[in-house]
Amino acid sequence: MMKLAELSERSGVSPATIKYYLREGLLPPGRRITATQAAYTEEHLRRLRLVRALIQVGRMPVATAREVLAALGDDALDHHMRLGAAVWALPHGPEPDEDDPAAVTARGAVDELLERAGWDFGREVGDESPAYRMLVAAVAALHRLGYPCDTAHLLPYARSAGQLAVADLDLVEEYEREEEQVEAAVALTVLYEPVLLGLRRMAEAEESHRRFG
């Protein structure tokens, strides 16, 4: 039963910031002892660390983190839905502009990719999904700049993504309680993103060194 000061101490987060997270609903309130004191548990510490990781490492806006965490604990949803809802709320760039011809082309390329990859669930969910929109916006930007980004170029990316997803879900399934699984899914989805990007950049440096260095 720690007090706020200890929670702050053990997490390395300032008391003022913890209060801010409490206000914003990122952290459930502690159990009230008296009018001016509350007790926090190991669970609070764990949640606080997750919040920090999402915000600082995953570069997630506070408002987004709140939605993601809300989905985590939403008992009205079943397992798969809860997982989907959490990932759904993840940050995504600007919406693709429908009037832009590059966006239309991009949408076509992405749709064809989904078909070729056999991702039927993605095709069903379609342009409702933030991930789909993020993808279209990025492909459209590439297209506007004149860089090739058709199905052929995207396929190796999709294949790699597919492999990684299998590894990720394997990891998630190592947890028994559904609650743990959903939290793991969110944490692994978000926190492996900088891992993946960092590794890709290092691999590019490696390959560039090999070819031009």
**Interface positions, 29-58, toward its own copies (CB under 8 A):** 46, 49-50, 52-53, 56-57
Q: Which does 63 bind (CB under 5 to 8 A by kind): DNA, its own copies, none?
A: DNA
Q: Which does 184 bind (CB under 5 to 8 A by kind): its own copies, DNA, none?
A: its own copies
Instruction: Work out whether 63 is an interface residue with its own copies (CB under 8 A).
Output: no
Beta strands in the chain (DSSP E): 31-34, 37-39
For residues 158 and 164, what is the distance between their CA atoms, to the nearest angstrom? 10
CB of 19 to DNA, least distance (A): 6
For residues 56 and 196, what is the distance between their CA atoms, to the nearest angstrom? 16
| Residue labelled with tokens 């090739």 | 148
Interaction mask 61-80, DNA, x per CB under 7 A: xxx-----------------
Tokens of 14: 């300032």
Instruction: Work out whether 200 is an interface residue with its own copies (CB under 8 A).
Output: yes
Instruction: Work out whether 197 is an interface residue with its own copies (CB under 8 A).
Output: yes
* Sign of the dihedral defined by the CA atoms of residues 22, 25, 30, 34, in that order: positive
Instruction: Work out whether 154 is an interface residue with its own copies (CB under 8 A).
Output: yes
Instruction: Work out whether 35 is an interface residue with DNA (CB under 7 A).
Output: yes
Q: Is there a contact between 39 and 2 (Cβ–Cβ < 8 Å)?
A: yes
Q: Which does 20 bind (CB under 5 to 8 A by kind): DNA, its own copies, none?
A: DNA
Residue 33 φ/ψ, nearest 5 degrees: -90, -55
Instruction: Work out whether 163 is an interface residue with its own copies (CB under 8 A).
Output: yes
Q: Which does 202 bind (CB under 5 to 8 A by kind): its own copies, DNA, none?
A: its own copies
For residues 151 and 44, what is the distance between their CA atoms, to the nearest angstrom? 45
Q: Which does 182 bind (CB under 5 to 8 A by kind): its own copies, DNA, none?
A: none
Maximum CA extent, the chain: 67
Residues β-bridged to residue 41:
none
Residues near DNA (CB under 7 A) are: 3-5, 14-17, 19-20, 22-23, 29-30, 32-38, 55, 61-63
